[in-house]
Structure 1
Amino acid sequence: MASSKNMQPVTSPFFPHIFIKNQFRTRPVWPSADTDLSGKVAIVTGANQGLGLEASAQLLSLRLSHLIIAVRSVTKGEGAADVLRTKYPKATVQVFQLDMTSYDSIRSFVTQVEQLVRVDIVILNAGVRKTKPKLVAGTGHEETIQVNYISTALLCILLLPVLKRRSAPGGPGRISIVGSGLAFQAKFRSRMDSPLLASLDDAKNFDVLDQYNISKVLPMMFLYKVADYVSADDVVVNIVDPGYVRGTGLTRDLGFAGSAFMAFWGHVAARSLGVGASTYVDATVTKGKESHGCYIMGWKIWPFVQLMYTPEGKRIIEKLWQETLEELRFANVQGILEDMKRM
C-alpha cells in the first residue's frame, strides 16, 4: 500500500466532494473480536471529555491494562477517570497534568511518563479552535497554532524515544496525532512569509475561518519530515482524522449563534462520538506499519493536502521544519531525532 507521501494528491475541493466522501460514503472499521490490549499502556491527551474520553473508553473495552488521561485540569480529569474506573474496575486509570500552552508542563509530563514501565499507545487528541487571536504569554505564539501544532510537535518528538524503549516486545509503539479534513480547505495566505510561524502569530493575518485549518496542515508537514527520522519498526507515527463529530467541545468558543448553528449542522451531518473515536482506535490498534507517516481519513490512508506535492509546498515544508527545530531547540529535539535515526 502506498504511503500518503507517495500518493497522487486529491484535487477535488473539500466541500462538497471530500467532505461527502469521508462523512457519508465510508463505513466504520471496528477492531476484531479477538483484539486484546491486556498488559498495554495508553496515553490520551485531552481525555476528560468528547473524543478523548470516548476513545479512552473504547481502549479500555479492549482490555487495556493501564490508561493515562493527560489533561490541563486535574480536577476535571479525575472526574472523567472516576467514570472510567467504575465501568472498567480491572484497569488502572491515572490522571497526569498536561498544559499544552506550556513548554515546562510538557517536559514535566514527559518526565512523568518516563517513569512508566510500559508505554504502547499515545493519542495526541488535545486541541483548540480559537475565534480571536490570542498569544500564549510564555511562548509568544497564537494559541491555536501553539496547541495544535508547535506543542503537539514537541510532545510527539519527546515521546518517540520513550515509546521505542517501553513499548511491547515485538511490536512498535504507536503515536497518532489528531488531524482534520478541514486542512484541505486551508487558504494559508501567509504560507510564503518568512518567518512562517511568526506570520501566524500576527493578528493581521488571523482569519477566524482559516487559522484552525492551517493548524491542521502544519502537522501534516511535520509528519512528512518526522517519518524520515523514525523507523516504523520502532514507532509508528500517523495522523488520524475523526471526521465531523458532534459533542467534541471544539465549538465552545463560537458564541451562541455559532454554537446553535453548529448544533443544528451536527444533528444533520455529524458522526457520533463513538464512531468518531473508533478512528483513533483504528489508527493505533488496527492499522499497522503501513500507516507510518500517513494521513488516515475515513479509516483509509489518504494523500496529504495538494500543496505538499508541489515545489512551493516542499519549500514550505522545509521552512516550517527548520523553524520548528529552532523553536524547540531548548528541548534538543534535533538530537532526539538524530538518535532515533541512528538507533
Structure 2
Amino acid sequence: MVSSKELPPSTTPFFPNHFLKNQFRTKPQFPPKNTDLSSKVAIVTGSNTGLGLECASQLLSYKLSHLILAVRSPTKGENAAVTLRQQYPGAIISVWQLDMASYDSIRVFTARADKELSRLDIAILNAGVGFGGFKISPATGHEETIQINYLSTMLLSILLLPILKNKSPADSPGRLTISTAMLSVTARFINKNEVPLLPSFDNKKYFDSMDIYSTSKLLGQLFIWKLTDLVSADDVVVNLVEPGFVKGTELHRDTSVPAKVFMSLFKAISGRTVKVGASTYLDGSIVKGKESHGSVLMNWEIAPYAPFQYTLEGKIIMERLWQETLSEFNFIDVNGILKFL
C-alpha cells in the first residue's frame, strides 16, 4: 500500500468538497469485534473528556489490560476514571498528570512511563487547543496553540518513541498515533518566511485566531514527515489521524460567545459523534499496520499530506522547522534519541 509521502497532493478544495465527503459521504469503520487488546498497555492524552475519553472507553471495550489517562487535571482525570472503572472492572486504569503547556511536565511524565511501565504498546496523542485568543504560555514563553499543538506534542512524541520501542513485544511494534486536522490544507501560515521561524509565532502581529489552529497542525505534519524517516516501522509505527469535525468536544471552548453559538449549531448539523471520531484513533493505532507508518489517515484511509509539503518552498521550510525544533529541544539529548531510533 502506498504511503502518504508517495501519494500525489490533492488538488480538490477542502471546502466544500473534502468536508462534505468527510462528514456525510464516508461510512465509519470500527475495529473487528474479535479485536483483543488483552495484556496491552495504552496511554491516551487529553482523556478526561470528549474524543480522548471516548477513545479510552473504546480501547477498554476491546479488553485493554492497562490504560493510562494522561490529563492536566488529576481531579478531572479521576472523575473520568471512576466511570470507566465501573464499566470495565477488569482493567487497570491509572491517572497520570500531564500538562502539555510545560516541558518539565512532559519530561516527568515520560520518565515515569520509562521507570514504572514494564510494557507500553500504544500512545494516542489527542490533547490540543484551538481557536482561542493570543496567549503566551508562562512556562515556555511561546504562543499557547503552537506550544501545545506543535512543540509539546512533538517533544512528547520524541520522548515516547524509545519507550515504545523498548517496551513493546519484539513481534509487535509500538504504536504512536497523533491527532491532526486536515484544516492544515487551509493554513495561511503567513509568517512562513520569517527567519528564525519559531520565535515569530510569539509575535502578536502574526497571530490569527482563525488560522493558528490550522497552522499548528500543518507544523506537526511537516515535523512528523521528517521524524518518521528516522524511525523503523519494525520498532514503532507512527501515524497522524484526522478524526474529522466532531461534536461533543471542548476544542472551541476558548472562542467568543457568538462563535460558540455558531459552532454549536454547525456541529449539530454536520459534526461526527465522538464515537465515530474516536474510532479513527483506534483505526490508526490498532487496525492499520506498518503500511500506515509516516502517513496521514483521513476517513479511515491513507491520504496525502497538505499540498504545501510537496512544494519546493514547503520542503525548504520543513527543513528549517526541523532544525529549529531540534534546537528548541536542546535541553534533552535529542540527537542521541534520534540516533537510537
**TM-score of the superposed pair, with normalisation by structure 1:** 0.98
Aligned-partner Cα distance in 1 for 2:104–2:78:
22
- SS of the aligned residue for 1:157 comes to helix
Counterpart-to-counterpart distance in 1, 2:139 and 2:202: 13
> Which stretch of the first structure deviates more once superposed, 295-304 or 26-35?
26-35
Amino acid at match of 2:124: I
> Offset at 1:14?
1.2
Shift of 1:4: 0.8
1:299 maps to 300
The farther-off stretch of 26-35 and 65-74 is: 26-35
Structure 2 partner of 1:103? 103
- Percent of aligned pairs with the same amino acid: 55
RMSD: 0.8
Partners of 1:245 and 1:272 within 8 A in 2:
yes
In 2, the alpha carbon distance for the partners of 1:138 and 1:323 equals 19
1:93 equivalenced with 2:113 (yes/no): no
1:329 is aligned to: 330
CA contact (8 A) 1:23 1:298 kept: no
C-alpha separation between the residues in 2 aligned to 1:254 and 1:132?
7
After TM superposition, what 4+ stretches of structure 1 lie above 6 angstroms from structure 2? none
In the TM superposition, what are the counterparts of 1:194-343 in structure 2 within 5 Å? 194-340=195-341
Q: Match for residue 122 of structure 1?
A: 123
1:143 paired to 2:144? yes
- 1:234-285 CA distances to partner (integer Å, 9 max, x unpaired)? 0000100100000110111112211111110011000000000000000000
1:29-44 equivalent positions in 2, closer than 5 A: 29-44=29-44
Q: Distance in 2 between matches of 1:192 and 1:226?
A: 22
1-structure distance, mates of 2:132, 2:329: 26
Find the aligned partners of 1:202 and 1:302 in 2 and give their Cα distance. 33
Where 1:331 maps in the other structure, the secondary structure is coil
Mark the runs of 5 or more structure 1 residues left unpaired by the alignment.
none
Cα distance in 1 between the residues matched to 2:108 and 2:154:
16
CA deviation after TM superposition for structure 1 residue 169, in Å: 3.2
* Alignment partners' CA distance in 2, 1:328 and 1:130: 26
CA distance in 2, matches of 1:132, 1:255: 9
Equivalent in the alignment of 1:131: 132
The one-letter code of the counterpart of 1:4 is S
Distance 2:152 2:222 in 1: 15
SS at match of 1:70: strand
TM-score, scaled relative to structure 2? 0.98
CA deviation map 1:35-62 (0-9, x unaligned): 1000000000000000000000000000
Contact kept, 8 Å, 2:164 with 2:175, in 1: the verdict is yes
Quote the residue 2:79 is aligned against.
79
What SS is found at the alignment partner of 2:331? helix
CA drift of 1:324 comes to 0.4
Q: Secondary structure at the match of 2:67?
A: strand
**Distance apart, 1:130 and its partner CA:** 4.2
Q: Deviations over 1:11-53 (max 9, x none)?
A: 2221111111222221111111211000000000000000000
